Amino acid sequence: MGDTKYVFVTGGVASSLGKGIISSSVGKLLQARGYNITIQKFDPYINIDPGTLNPYEHGECYVTVDGQETDLDLGHYERFTGIQTTRANNITTGRIYQSVIEKERPGDYLGKTIQEVTHITDEIKRNIKLMGKIYKFDFVITEIGGTVGDIESQPFLEAIRQLRWELGKDAINLHLTYVPYLAAAKELKTKPTQTSVKQLQSLGIQPDILVLRTEHELNADIRKKVAHFCNVDENAVIQSLDKPSIYEVPLSMQAQGLDTIILQKMNMPIGDTPQLGPWRSFLDRRNKATDIVDIALVGKYDLQDAYKSILESLAHAGTYNDYKVKNHFVNSEKLTRENVAEQLKGMAGVVICPGFGQRGIEGKIVAAEYTRTHDIPTFGICLGMQMMVIEFARDVLGYAEANSREMDEKTPHNVIDIMEEQKNITQMGGTMRLGAYECDIRKGSKTYEAYQQQQISERHRHRYEFNNQYIEEFEKAGMQCVGINPDSNLVEILEIPTLKWYIGTQFHPEYSSTVLKPHPLFLSFVKASIDNLRQTQQNSKKDK
Ligand code: GLN
């Protein structure tokens, strides 16, 4: 197709307007037209990656197949486009500085003063263009984190300004802003948008397209006004109205011609509007599914973003099972033997969430015991699986002090132990077992039934593992190690086949569920939860 085209996505007025969703939608729409696309995000903070950040600060840490710990927006990129991202797709200020400094020490810039503009901006530009050069994408969509006006974002915006000058028609800027509604005046206000565009212009960037996030329909007059004040074509002022689901956004963008405007501005042929058939069927099915299945998430982070990919994976699986999954957050720190029955009452299935550290783990163990002994479908993910193992060791094998070395270094029954290659690691950032590893699944297991495949590959993010010295004991007592890494022999999946659905995975299946390709384990877990719900409903009818 010729040279790579670049779409830069910036944001103004406020954060959390959904730049990630707009970028994903643009990616989806261009991809549907047959283009080879990728979406990249720059995060203007000094951490090398978000791996060392608390989920309260940053939400979930998403992991790519090649083992990069990244921003949760990359999860959206993958769920929307089905394309796998890599280390090159998420870059922080920290990483930019790190690579500049790493070149400075050996003398790569000998004799020169290393400066923000030139060296830092060049490194940013290099990372943007790398996508086109090495991977030969038709379109690279680059989202700049933060809001225009932030001190931290300045070098990124300067890099974009330069690139737009260098690339001419091959680069455009899409700016996302907010149009607030003042209830008292019953009016939508465009001033914040105007101010934010002025701010962008003062940095030398003229937006080509404006996407206005709003809670109320914007009429033609408002769009005209914004176009007029901001030097943007009228048809390039697009509204992004609140939607019941983020997956509606590409359709709404397509209906307003966002993709055709991008192509026009870049002198590209327009062609037919893609049907987005499978995407529409997904949404139809999603909207038709009205029956509710209640699923509990047992974890310590009381915020949605911390378990973003799990929530999305459950939602995908719900749709493909023609049910709506209703999530109930159960705080593991407050979960006790005394209140667990009450807390998990009415739940058709339970997810025991991933996590790090001591806080809230006893609650996860209590949940694992309750669901095991009451045969409620249970999905343990990473730390969740480790807690299933500890619970089983304590209650079934009789090792009252069984624990993970992460929580109790001196436990006599270290059923979860530190991995050999982790023992001498002292640095925290980027040193866990990260990214995709292979796993062989035992034929005849429940897990095999779900995957219908013997060899799989799944993404990891952990330091501790199931201690293989205990394999035989666990298997004899009924908990089977049904997924094993063929190279390292690490146990990846455990299950109790005599229960309805009691499976724990050391990996994170939630990172790879997409809209058009829901994850087999989530599909099968949600199905088991629905079956469980139906059975409970039937039993209660019989009782009456
Ligand atoms: N803390 C556990 C470990 O490091 C589990 C990690 C996780 O849940 N992602 O092994």
| Cα(73)–Cα(247) distance, integer angstroms | 14
Q: Residues 6 or more apart from 525 whose CB is under 8 A from it?
A: 317, 349, 351, 377, 379, 501, 503
Q: Which two tokens stand for residue 87?
A: 């280390």
Question: How far is Cα 459 from Cα 269, in angstroms, rounded to an integer?
Answer: 39
Give the pLDDT mean for 300-318. Answer: 93
CA 173 from chain centre, in angstroms, equals: 24
Q: Which residues are catalytic?
A: 382, 508, 510
Query: Taking a C-beta distance cutoff of 8 angstroms, is the pair 298, 327 a contact?
Result: no
* Nearest Cα residue to 369 out of 398, 347, 389, 399: 389
Kindly state the tokens that stand for 429: 């950032």
Instruction: Report how far ligand 1's centroid is from the alpha carbon of 415 (Å).
Output: 14
CA 17 to chain CA centroid, Å, is: 17
DSSP H helices, 266-355, are: 277-288, 308-320, 340-343
Phi and psi based region of residue 212 (left: phi greater than 0; alpha: psi -120 to 50; beta: remaining): beta
Give residues with Cβ within 8 angstroms of 126, minimum separation 6: none
CA distances from 132 to 137, 138, 265, 362 (A): 5, 7, 19, 49
Nearest atom of ligand 1 to the alpha carbon of 464: 10
pLDDT of residue 135: 82
Question: Rounded CA gap, 128 and 133, in Å?
Answer: 9
Q: How confident is the model at residue 1 (pLDDT cuts 50, 70, 90)?
A: low
Rounded CA-CA distance 529/445 in Å is: 18
Query: Residue with structure tokens 């394309």?
Result: 83
Cβ neighbours of residue 350 under 8 Å, at least 6 residues apart?
295, 296, 297, 298, 344, 367, 371, 376, 377, 378, 379
Report the alpha-carbon distance of residue 294 to residue 277 in Å, rounded.
29
**Cβ(406) – ligand 1 distance below 6 Å:** yes
Residue 13 has pLDDT above 90, yes or no: no
Given a cut of 90, whether residue 20 has pLDDT beyond it is yes
What per-residue confidence (pLDDT) applies to 542? 81
Alpha carbon distance 500, 371 (integer Å): 10
Distance 452 CA to ligand 1 centre (A): 27
Which pLDDT value is given to residue 133? 84
Residue at token pair 């944001």: 11
**How many angstroms is it from 22 CA to the middle of ligand 1?**
32
- Structure pTM? 0.96
Residue whose structure tokens are 């997924």: 483
pLDDT at 341 over 80: yes
Contact by Cβ (8 Å): 80, 246: no
- For a mutational test of ligand 1's pocket, the pick from 407, 461, 492, i.e. the residue with the most ligand atoms closer than 8 A to its C-beta, is 461
Mean per-residue pLDDT over the chain, rounded: 95
Closest-CA residue to 473 (of 403, 393, 365): 393
Could you tell me if 171 and 132 are in contact, meaning their C-beta atoms sit under 8 angstroms apart?
Answer: no
pLDDT value of position 415? 97
Note whether 12 and 199 are within 8 A (CB): yes
**Residue for token pair 């799944």:** 458
Beta bridge partners of 246: none
Q: CB–CB of 403/390 below 8 Å?
A: yes
Q: Is 360 in the pocket of ligand 1 (CB under 6 A)?
A: no
| Separation CA 202–CA 180 (nearest Å) | 23
Percent of the chain topping pLDDT 90:
91
Question: Lowest-pLDDT range, 23-32, 192-201, 339-348, 535-544?
Answer: 535-544
What's residue 132's pLDDT?
A: 85
State which of 301, 381, 459, 464 you would mutate to test the pocket of ligand 1, scoring each by most atoms of that ligand within 8 A of its C-beta. Answer: 464
DSSP secondary structure letter of residue 245 = S
- Give the three-class secondary structure for 412: coil
Lowest mean pLDDT, pick from 13-17, 168-172, 281-285: 13-17
Contact 48, 93 (CB under 8 A): no
Instruction: Give the model confidence (pLDDT) of 122-161 as tens digits.
Output: 999 999 999 888 888 999 999 999 999 999 999 999 999 9
Nearest Cα residue to 416 out of 450, 443, 448, 391? 391
Summarised one tens digit per residue, pLDDT across range 433-475 is 999 999 999 999 999 999 999 999 999 999 999 999 999 999 9
Q: List C-alpha distances in Å: 226 to 105, 179, 190, 238, 241.
A: 49, 10, 7, 10, 16
Residue 382 Cβ < 6 Å to ligand 1: yes
- Residue-wise pLDDT for 167-214, tens only, equals 999 999 999 999 999 999 999 999 999 999 999 999 999 999 999 999
Q: In terms of DSSP H, where are the helices of 113-182?
A: 121-135, 154-167
**pLDDT (average), residues 76-86:** 97
Q: Are 79 and 514 in contact (CB under 8 A)?
A: yes
CA dist., res. 207 & res. 202, Å (int): 12
Closest Cα to residue 445, out of 487, 504, 397, 513?
A: 504
* Eight-class DSSP state of 358: S
Q: Is 60 in the pocket of ligand 1 (CB under 6 A)?
A: no
Whether 462 lines ligand 1, by a CB cut-off of 6 Å, is yes
